[in-house]
Structure 1
Amino acid sequence: RVLDVGCGAGASSLALAARVGAGGYVLGVDISEPLIDRARALAPQDTSALFRVADASNAVLPEGAFDLLFSRFGVMFFDDPTGAFTHMRHALRPGGRVAFVCWRGVGENDWVRLPMGAIKDIVPLPAPPGLEAPGPFSFGDRGRVTRILTAAGFTDIAIEPFDASISFGEGETRDAAIDDAVKIALESGPLSLVLADQPDDIRAHAWAAVRTAFADCPGERSVIINGAAWIVMARNPTASSD
């Protein structure tokens, strides 16, 4: 019995459902109704995965109903992460586990570092958010993650670094792959917010600069960039800590 937090369009939930088999089930929750609609549309009829529009930090969840609390890049956005994990822990059975992956620091992740670095002399960049402000990199500090989970009542906390090469942009040719990488960068993440209100000439200048940055990355039919994450695991105590 798995709770998938921030399940998006359901890819992780469906993969988990294939692992738990017919005897188990997966509940995927996300605050985005369009993503949940997409997850439901993609789910095969015989899957054990269910999907629900909900904020896991405060949603009504059955006490002790889950064996595993899972998330793939979905737990870094809580306004009160300690309160959120405390709330979610109550949905775990005694001895149940939490396992999630979250980004490390922005400087270690090329999907933000490269495009933002490329435009720093073209448009003024906003002040970086506070290290503990909700956002993709708010769990970049291993010590903070440990403090949050400890305060939320978890034990046996293990946090390991995970480094990977990421295919960021794909195409039939090298040029097409680079163009696709730029398109992704311009349509999502902090770059899209910085350029949202900029005139067309500035956007074009930024597009060229970001393209140059991605052109320096390896790859033939994709652009290979570096990604850095934490894999975090912990356990709900067998005896109540409340």
Structure 2
Amino acid sequence: MTDAAANAAQIAYWNEGAGPTWAALQVQLDRQIGPLGRAAALALGPKPGERILDIGCGCGESSLELARAVGPTGEVTGLDISRPMLEIARARAAEASLTQASFVEADAQAHPFAVGQADAVYSRFGVMFFADPTAAFANIRKGLKPGGRLAFVCWRAMAQNPIMTLPLASAAHLLPPTAPPEPGAPGPFAFADQARTSGILGAAGFTDIVFTPHNQKIGSGDLETTLGLSLRIGPLGGMLREHPDKREAVIDAVRAALRPHEGPDGVLLDSATWIVTARNRGFGSLQGEVSLDPGFFDPLPDSELGK
């Protein structure tokens, strides 16, 4: 199978299925996973004037935050396979007058990156979906300068993530049984296994590979907002897309399970992720590199999140 064809199923999924849904829910999703993306960005330590690739940039929040960090003399290029999400990303960049941010509709496993031009590569949950992750990271590495930095955030095991498991578990008795996903198959938890992911990065030519566990309560808003998101996104959302006739039956059970976790900041549930850092083979380590003011990664104002 050619690289161009390898991710055809994912391209279709993120344009015809999940992409429009994520685009419609981008405000809630940015609120939920934005803090985790900012943890990875702080580990990357972007600097003014740098060129950064944002792999799987989605609706662009992470790219715009990186664009602010590198400033007008830097460049951030967001890549994604989802046209509906990229349309939002481009509109948000234009609204914010961040001309240093640009977006490319491309499959990072096959995209012809300009060789050795980027100072760093970043991703917020955008690198777990490749059919051949070793080939994808080897291709991405071509775009990095010697010694260039890599940082991304990915989910640890599903069982460690109530943000994912609680809605589905609360409704499991009302849904048909389902087989667990194949370990390592493209999907949200493909990089949960530290040893496997480290092997992928090493085989692709990265060194100084570090996995830092990150645990944080996250959420998308109040009870009804969280309920609505749970019914459309994540493991429960996936089940309901296959069994839409079960939607009304599970609503009360999911709402009851979420209610005890609601507080002044909305419904917050535990998340467990890896913050992964590495370098293009041959140069130093990331230690001592992070000197950026964390204020660079304050959440976008509501006026921009709605764009």
Please report the TM-score for the alignment, with normalisation by the length of structure 2: 0.72
The one of 180, 194, 209 equivalent to 1:128 is 180
Provide the residue aligned with 1:174 in structure 2. Answer: none
RMSD: 1.4
Provide the residue aligned with 2:255 in structure 1. Answer: 211
Q: 2:235, 2:229 → 1: CA distance?
A: 11
The one of 157, 162, 165 equivalent to 1:105 is 157
Distance 1:199 1:129, change over 3 A: closer
Q: 1:188, 1:57 → 2: CA distance?
A: 25
Tell which deviates more after alignment, 202-211 or 133-142: 202-211
- What is the letter of the counterpart of residue 125 of structure 1? P
Provide the residue aligned with 2:63 in structure 1. Answer: 13
Q: Deviations over 1:47-106 (max 9, x none)?
A: 311111111111111110101010011001111111100111111011101111101111
- How far the C-alpha of 1:205 sits from its partner, in A, is 2.1
Distance 1:193 1:19, change over 3 A: same
Runs of 5+ consecutive residues of structure 1 not aligned to the other structure: 171-176
- What is the letter of the counterpart of residue 83 of structure 1? A
Provide the residue aligned with 2:213 in structure 1. Answer: 161
- Percent identical among aligned pairs is 45
Structure 1 residue runs of 4+, over 6 Å off? Answer: none
Q: 1:153, 1:117 → 2: CA distance?
A: 39
- How far the C-alpha of 1:218 sits from its partner, in A, is 4.0
Q: How many residues align?
A: 231
Provide the residue aligned with 1:94 in structure 2. Answer: 146
Runs of 5+ consecutive residues of structure 2 not aligned to the other structure: 1-50, 284-307
- How far the C-alpha of 1:219 sits from its partner, in A, is 1.4
SS at 1:119 equivalent: helix
| Larger strand fraction of residues | 1
Provide the residue aligned with 2:235 in structure 1. Answer: 190
Tell which deviates more after alignment, 62-71 or 185-194: 185-194
Q: 1:106, 1:120 → 2: CA distance?
A: 15
- What is the letter of the counterpart of residue 195 of structure 1? L
Q: Bigger radius of gyration, 1 or 2?
A: 1
Pairing 1:28-177 to 2, within 5 Å after superposition: 28-43=78-93, 44-168=96-220, 170=221, 177=222
- How far the C-alpha of 1:229 sits from its partner, in A, is 0.5
- How far the C-alpha of 1:111 sits from its partner, in A, is 2.2
| Larger helix fraction of residues | 2
